[in-house]
Amino acid sequence: MTPITRRQLIATGLTATAGAAGLAAAAHFARRYGLIPPDHGGLYGPGETLTYAAQRLLASHAPAREFPRSMISKAPFANEVAPPSDAFKRHQATGFSDWRLIVDGMVANPASLSLSDLRSLPFRSQITEVACEEGWSYIAEWIGTPLSEVLSAVGVLPHARYIVYRSIQTDWWDSLDMADALHPYTYLTWGMNDGDLPVGFGGPLRMRVPRQLGYKSIKYITNLTATDNIKAFGKGLGSASPEGGYAWYAGI
Amino acid sequence: MFGHPSIPLSSCYAPFVAATASPPKLRTPRHAAIVRVTHWITVLCFFALLITGGEIVISHPRFYWGEVGNVMTRPLFTIPIPSSRDTVPTGYHYVMPDQNGWSRALHFEAAWVVMIAGLAYALYGLFTGHFRRNLLPEKGDRSWSSFRRVFAKSFHRAPPGEPGAHAYNVLQRTAYIAVIFVLFPLVIWTGLAMSPAFTAAAPWSVILLGGRQTARTLHFFISWLLLLFVIVHVTMIVLAGFKIRMRAMITGRVVEPPPARRKTDRR
């Protein structure tokens, strides 16, 4: 081993100082620009944070990939995970005429919207792919009201940072940051392939987030809550997914 | 070293090998610190990625070609194992334990770590001439006959201390170059081509490959090629002297045994 020279010692010291200062500056920058996900703690927190921050910097405004009509999957896979609850069956029996979307939290005008209220807002369609974290995928046309239309209709307050959304299946809830909530491809979807959204695919109302994996596109949506304090929901990790070991941010 | 004048010192790993051989200097620098550190980080990450990647495959052990694929479409091939999801028709009446949550988290964290290590190594390799000097096949060796010569020689095991301890032959160089500059970039590319957010920002990344499911299938095959490389790599190290090579990659030093005398010329 060669002895450490004074020059090496100074260089190492400077590098370490610069590194520490760089990390502190990066953390400050990341907090300031919303690059830290709610589930940033724990062993896998650094990886989640790097992925979220990198994709936010790179792809915040990128449109989702769209496909020609000819690529719509002939036999899409519904992936029905849980049998519908009794409450859901009652709605199903009445053709979802009593289905309500409750919008509350940091909004100027909290609202309880029926499906026809939602359909009376400007709606759009997209032909995008559902990609499941398991590896499979399919393409469909999705018709719905952009979440941004609903949020502007109720007057979301400027300091809201997350939109929490909940399903009639109470163990399914999730949240989006404002970049994804206001993204033009994020829909409250009620139609699929020129028809009503089938129950198996999340009808009558499904959140559709095509720039994230399928598990972010939760079925049977009943509640939206705008908040600036995601810690107040569940275990404070942003959604039910991290409580089950999955990432809150599913852009990869 | 040790009376092998045919091996120029410049082909040694370290640029400052002692030129004097009397008394024989037993320790010669072999691998630079950054090569050793990034090597072992890569080893750890590779196995983390391999195991977690396998776990993720178990949740859908079917592979497709093109953009889409699911249990309603015909697979390119399936792996005959039970799945960790009961929605996959595997033919087995058994559902494996679901390990996807932590597997995905560790897969991406390890991918970040190995990408950062790889970037540090690549910058080092480019700016110090490490790639040019140690990995690019030497000018005189860029021919099929050199390949054949090395192949032929490889079947006669050389004892440690042979010239091979100091410089890589053309076959080794080609293998390392292929892994570093072809397989690693391809495995990263095919991995990113499965990310819905990344492909939203860079649609060409998946279009060039021919679709999301093609990317997934290629990712799977490239992982097997990388595993094949690891198996051959470790086998060669065992054949060439496990202790001496491990010491070289851990401490950076090669401790030379006394020059081995061949009892018989096996040729």
Q: Which residues from A are below 8 Å from B203, CB to CB?
A: 65
Interface contacts (A, B; CB < 8 Å) = 133
Cα gap B58→B104, rounded to integer Å: 12
Domain presence at residue A11: no
**What's the pLDDT tens digit per position in A173-204?**
999 999 999 999 999 999 999 899 999 999 89
pLDDT of residue A140: 97
pLDDT of residue B163: 52
Question: Mean pLDDT for chain B?
Answer: 84
pLDDT at position A85 over 60: yes
CB A204 within 8 A of CB A191: no
- From B54, which residue of chain A is nearest by alpha-carbon distance? A134
| A226 exposure class (CB count in 10 Å sphere: 0-12, 13-18, 19+) | buried
Contacts of A79 by beta carbon, 8 Å cutoff, 6+ apart = A132, A214, B87
- Domains of chain B by residue range: 136-241
Cα gap A203→A48, rounded to integer Å: 31
Q: Which residues from B are below 8 Å from A134, CB to CB?
A: 56, 59-60, 85, 88, 100
What would the mean pLDDT of B183-192 be, rounded to a whole number? 97
Q: Phi/psi of residue B189, each to 5°?
A: -60, -50
Distance from CA of A156 to the nearest CA of B (A): 25
Q: What percent of chain B has pLDDT over 90?
A: 57
Domain presence at residue A48: no
In 3D space, the residue among B240, B254, B255, B249 whose CA is nearest the CA of residue B37 turns out to be: B249
B residues 48-107 closer than 8 Å to A (CB): 56-57, 59-60, 62, 64, 67-73, 85, 87-88, 100-102, 104-106
- Helix B212-251, helix B184-192: angle, nearest 10: 140
CATH number at residue A146: 3.90.420.10
Q: Is A187 helix (H, G, I), strand (E, B) or coil?
A: strand
What would the mean pLDDT of B105-118 be, rounded to a whole number? 97
pLDDT at position B162 over 90: no
Tell me the DSSP string of A125-160. Answer: EEEEEEE-TTS-EEEEEEEEEEHHHHHHHHTB-TT-
Domain presence at residue A49: no
- Among A51, A135, A212, select the one facing B216 at the smallest CB separation: A135
Encoded tokens for A153: 């209709």
Q: Which residues from B are below 8 Å from A132, CB to CB?
A: 60, 70
Domain presence at residue A28: no
State which residues form the domain around A125: 64-243
Domain presence at residue A52: no
Q: Is the dihedral of CA B226, B230, B235, B239 positive or negative?
A: positive
Per the CB < 8 Å rule, is B196 touching A62? no
- From A66, which residue of chain B is nearest by alpha-carbon distance? B200
Q: Please tell me whether the overall predicted TM-score, pTM, comes out greater than 0.90 for this model.
A: no
Per the CB < 8 Å rule, is A75 touching B72? yes
Distance from CA of A235 to the nearest CA of B (A): 17
Domain presence at residue A16: no
Cα gap B27→B4, rounded to integer Å: 17
Q: What angle do CA B215, B113, B178 make, to 5 degrees?
A: 55
Domain count, chain A: 1
Q: Is A207 helix (H, G, I), strand (E, B) or coil?
A: strand
Buried b (16+ CB within 10 A) or exposed e, A133-147: bbbbbbbbbbbbbbb
- Among A77, A213, A244, select the one facing B71 at the smallest CB separation: A77
Domain presence at residue A100: yes
Per the CB < 8 Å rule, is B196 touching A211? yes
Q: Which residues from B are below 8 Å from A51, CB to CB?
A: 108, 112
Encoded tokens for B3: 């009376």
β-pair partners for A4:
none
pLDDT at position B149 over 90: no
